Amino acid sequence: MCGAYGFSVKDEREVYDRFGVVNKLADFKPRWNIRIGQMNPVIYTTADGAQIKYMYWSFVPSWAKEKRLQFSTFNARDNRLLESKVYKSAVPGQRCIIPATYFFEPDKKHYPKPPHPWYCFKLNDQKVFSLAGLYNPWTDPKTGEELYTYTIITTEPNAVVGAYHDREPAILDSTQEKQWLNPDLTEPQQILPLLKPYPPEKMESWRVADAAKNPRNDYPEVIKPVSD
């Protein structure tokens, strides 16, 4: 699972230049503790090019009558995408990338029962990276209001993440980003092979304090390393 991550870029121009988006966010701000159910920056493709937009973190399928479902949709397993009535229709043309600077995972390998210590994971060769995702513009049948929603896809873990957890978010490199967002690629065999564990030698991790578990704690100190 991936239920918390950070997007702590302070200069928004870094993001626009990095991803080549053609628009800007009205109220860009760094985030250190992003959680499920919040509105967060997501990049997707339109006829005008790559766009960045605030979307609701938890995928809401078009047929849903309510925004809050009876099951979780903040993550989607890569090996079940084509089997899922929730995600299958989004795979051909509703792919997105979620910009991040790090993500959190609980240590469930050494602590099978809660409370689980939390670990922070980042790439050691780039500051901002991309998490593969799917999005859907859902319309509330009661109000007619449109809400863009998204999920983060997870895959098998590499050795770094796998030391603590049995899943990791699917991370895309710069070449894969272009493929993932390419609207001309619609066949599963063209895009699903991009979802694979990230090279472990390019990733690092450290334990963080329990303050990171509280979604109200959205400040730089939540990623400060602590002793195991």
> Catalytic residue numbers?
2, 105
**Cα separation of 106 and 164, whole Å?**
7
**Distance (Å) of CA 85 to CA 27, 60, 64, 139, 140:** 34, 12, 11, 18, 19
Q: Please enumerate in sequence order all residues whose Cβ is within 8 A of that of 158, keeping only pairs 6 or more positions apart, or say none.
A: 168, 197, 198, 199, 200, 203
Report d(CA 6, CA 32) in Å as an integer.
4
Distance CA 24, CA 90 (A): 25
